Amino acid sequence: MRWMALYSCVPSRKGRGERYHVRMSNAVSPPILKFVPDADTPQLGTFAGLPAVRVHDLQGASAVVLLHGAHVVSWVDATGSERLYLSPWSKFQAGTAVRGGIPVIFPQFSTQGPLPRHGLARTREWVLTQCEGESARFTFTSDASTLGVWPFEFACELHVALVSDGLDVQLTVHNHSAQAFSFAAALHTYLAIPAFEGASLEGLQGCAFTDAHSTQAQRELAPLLRFSEPLDRVYYDLEHPLTLRSQSTALDVSQQGFVDAVVWNPGPEGAAQTPDFAPDAHTHFVCVEAAAIGHPPALKPGGQWQGSQRLRRI
């Protein structure tokens, strides 16, 4: 199909997103990021100048996914509320990670290996392979540029689907190599919160965790995690779904295949030091990431692995 070929192209660096690349200190309000549909195929279009797909359902929910990174940049629930945080100061350009939404992390988490931070998937162009009303599917396949830095042939698929009161995102990894490989992966979801004060995450009590600010393995004792200070933790072997609450909103965050979860908030200093965040960005989101880090999945030749995260409004 014409548009599938079209959207597998590397987008131009001269997209409209260029104007978001620097913080405009005199800006009265942040730039508005929205999906601009194509005239002839309204499910397809652009977002911040990059090729994008919009899925929607009969209840009024919608999601927008860039082909760049198969990056979900928006999920509006059936009440019309945006549930993902996307930084208005994010860059939207080839080879660069988008700040916010749902970055796909593969095959390396953070700096835990020789690859670029958080691996290869979030900065590459994916191909749209299916787009039907409430869901869309994307693939990212090894090529000369990935083989140059990670010597395995693979295919990743991302399936993004609106479901009753929620959003499902499923990552599938196929090993197309003649050798086995293992990898780390995560759906690095930035969940929007109406208020930082009083926000809480429930469901981690009893889990072992490591904290980026400490070398000791620890165990979570608190029934509710609060966000009064910077937080950067990997929780291992989750046993329960999580619930994020802020003011009158609540979201169930559940996962399958992914057994770990990363919880991250950069705090005021972290936000101020990160050029693609507004200085108060840390008050607008909490990252709750479905992750496979502690026991990196190992795939034999021909093998496949699946992990998913479901966000459900409650």
Ligand X SMILES: O=P(O)(O)OC[C@H]1O[C@H](O)[C@H](O)[C@@H](O)[C@@H]1O
Q: Catalytic amino acids?
A: 188, 289
The angle at the Cα of 236, spanning 223 to 239, to the nearest 5 degrees, equals 55
Segment 6 to 65, residues that bind ligand X, using CB under 6 A: none
Print burial letters for 192-222: b (CB count within 10 Å at least 16), e (below 16).
bbeebeebbbbbbeebebbeeeeeeeeebee
Contact assessment for residue 72 and residue 65, using Cβ atoms and an 8 Å cutoff: yes
For residue 107, whether the previous peptide bond is cis, meaning omega lies within 30 degrees of 0, is yes
Binding flag, residue 140, ligand X (CB under 6 A): no
Contact assessment for residue 298 and residue 182, using Cβ atoms and an 8 Å cutoff: yes
**Integer-rounded Cα radius of gyration of the chain:** 19
What tokens does 118 get? 């958080």
Contact assessment for residue 193 and residue 246, using Cβ atoms and an 8 Å cutoff: yes
Binding flag, residue 98, ligand X (CB under 6 A): no
Question: Quick one: 123 or 254, whose CB is closer to ligand X?
Answer: 123
Out of 8, 57, 94, 110, the residue judged to bind ligand X by CB under 6 A: 110
- From the list 110-118, 123-131, 138-146, 294-302, the region that binds ligand X by CB under 6 A is 110-118
Binding flag, residue 264, ligand X (CB under 6 A): yes
Question: Quick one: 140 or 264, whose CB is closer to ligand X?
Answer: 264
The 276-295 site mask, x for binding ligand X (CB under 6 A), equals -----------x--------
Segment 200 to 239, residues that bind ligand X, using CB under 6 A: 212, 232
Question: Quick one: 44 or 231, whose CB is closer to ligand X?
Answer: 231
Question: Quick one: 76 or 251, whose CB is closer to ligand X?
Answer: 251
Give the residue from 302, 295, 5, 307 showing the smallest Cα distance to 154. Answer: 302
Out of 23, 117, 176, 245, the residue judged to bind ligand X by CB under 6 A: 117
Binding flag, residue 262, ligand X (CB under 6 A): yes
Q: Give the 3-state secondary structure of residue 269.
A: helix
Where along the sequence are the contacts to ligand X (CB under 6 A)?
Answer: 97, 110, 117-118, 212, 232, 262, 264, 287
